[in-house]
Amino acid sequence: MNQYVIALGMFDGVHLGHQELLNKTSLIARSNGDTSVVFTYRNHPRELFNGSFDYLTPLNQRVFLYRAIGIDRVDAVDFTREFADQDPEAFLKWLSDRYDHKIGCIVCGYDYRFGKHADGDQFTLQHIGSKMGFKSLIVPPVNYLGQPCSSTRVRNALKAGEIETANEMLNRPYVICGTVIHNKAIGRKIGFPTANIHSGHQLLPADGVYATALKTGDSIYASVTNIGANPTVGGVFRTIETHVPDMEFNLYGQEVSVAILKRIRNEILFSGIDQLSEQISKDVEEAKKVYKENEKSVYKLRNLW
């Protein structure tokens, strides 16, 4: 009888630890002829309780990454107050009902918590699971530089501008996804037209200039991206502006992805437009060099972002 092997978690970032857990889920399911499932939430629990939350990876990109690992099915539900009020046993009963009492195994991380007040842990899962007739697998942490790889560590690295550290924990470049919108077009006026990207509720790295790769459709281009308020031109709000050297195209309204490869420098208040333009020229050359060094790996990973 075909059963379900279910990975429980938010998996925001899909970092090395998440990848290990999802690989195990897929492997167990394949070895038994079962269906691998990620059961997750459309909204992070912190968003419900704190009012807002900046994601490492939007849901549509997470689903893409799950499937690339080999997950057969992704179920995402809303995390509501009513859902949060279920005690651990009620949640697992609800889950069993959802999958027609055909759960063969539940896979989760060593620090996974569930149920009201997060009272459920790995021992709760094993105890209740044995009564309900399914197995459980608790996946230990995957260490990075001697400490467990976690979404929190990825976030802290990004906030500090340590993009290469974040990328190593993700095992791929950090990607910002969004829609190209109109702005002041100042970059175009000084010879460096930019795509201004609205990324929604996604965590942005520290303000600064980054060597990046911009993907639109099936095409990937070397690019340089500024994250910040652009103080030299009187900017106030934080923006994401990506310039593609030697290219001229209209991306307004299109969905694009920007893979961040390396931090080039801090955001700087220049004395004027001429000094700014001179520095951007240097940034462009550095970004092109970084892209060239990473072109093979970027192309190899093109289907993951």
219 in any annotated domain = yes
Q: What is the CATH number of the domain that holds 14?
A: 3.40.50.620
Domain boundary among 91, 114, 148: 148
Count of structural domains, the chain: 2
pLDDT at 191: 67
pLDDT at 233: 65
pLDDT at 52: 84
Reported as half-sphere exposure (CB side, CA atoms, 13 A), residue 218 has a value of 0
267 in any annotated domain = yes
Pairing, β 143-144 against β 255-265:
unpaired
Going from the C-alpha of 290 to that of each of 262, 269, 296, 300, the distances in angstroms are: 7, 24, 12, 16
DSSP structure string for 219-285: EEEEEEEEEE--GGGT--S-EEEEE-TT-----TT-EEEEEEEEEEE-----SSHHHHHHHHHHHHH
pLDDT at 246: 87
Pairing, β 255-265 against β 208-216:
antiparallel
Contact at 8 Å (CB) between 23 and 139? no
Whether residue 89 is found in the same domain as residue 142? yes
Q: What is the CATH number of the domain that holds 213?
A: 2.40.30.30
Would you state the structure tokens that stand for residue 111, as one six-digit string?
A: 């620090």
162 in any annotated domain = no
280 in any annotated domain = yes
Whether residue 39 is found in the same domain as residue 95? yes
> b vs e for 235-268, b when ≥16 Cβ sit within 10 Å of the residue's Cβ?
beeebbbbbbbeeeeebeeeebbbbbbbbbeebe
Whether residue 177 is found in the same domain as residue 248? yes
pTM, two decimals, is 0.92
pLDDT at 232: 66
Whether residue 19 is found in the same domain as residue 137? yes
Whether residue 201 is found in the same domain as residue 139? no
Element (H, E) at 181: strand 174-181
294 in any annotated domain = yes
pLDDT at 88: 96
Whether residue 141 is found in the same domain as residue 52? yes
Low-confidence stretches of the chain (pLDDT beneath 70)? 1, 184-191, 232-236, 271
pLDDT at 189: 59
Whether residue 42 is found in the same domain as residue 141? yes
Residue 122's φ and ψ, nearest 5 degrees, are -60, -35
180 in any annotated domain = yes
161 in any annotated domain = no
Whether residue 15 is found in the same domain as residue 136? yes
Domain boundary among 148, 164, 183: 148
At residue 214, the 3 state secondary structure works out as strand
Whether residue 98 is found in the same domain as residue 18? yes
Would you state the structure tokens that stand for residue 42, as one six-digit string?
A: 């459309």
Q: What is the pLDDT of residues 200-248, one digit of tens each?
A: 899 999 999 999 999 999 899 999 999 998 776 666 678 999 999 988 8
Which residues form the domain of 60? 4-148
Whether residue 242 is found in the same domain as residue 110? no
265 in any annotated domain = yes
Report which of 172, 168, 161 is spatially closest to residue 264, judged by C-alpha positions: 161
Whether residue 13 is found in the same domain as residue 144? yes
Contact at 8 Å (CB) between 9 and 52? no
Whether residue 138 is found in the same domain as residue 177? no
User: Rounded to whole angstroms, how far apart are CA atoms 182 and 52?
Assistant: 25
User: Rounded to whole angstroms, how far apart are CA atoms 59 and 14?
Assistant: 11
Domain boundary among 98, 133, 148: 148
Q: Which residues pair with 242 in a beta bridge?
A: 195, 225
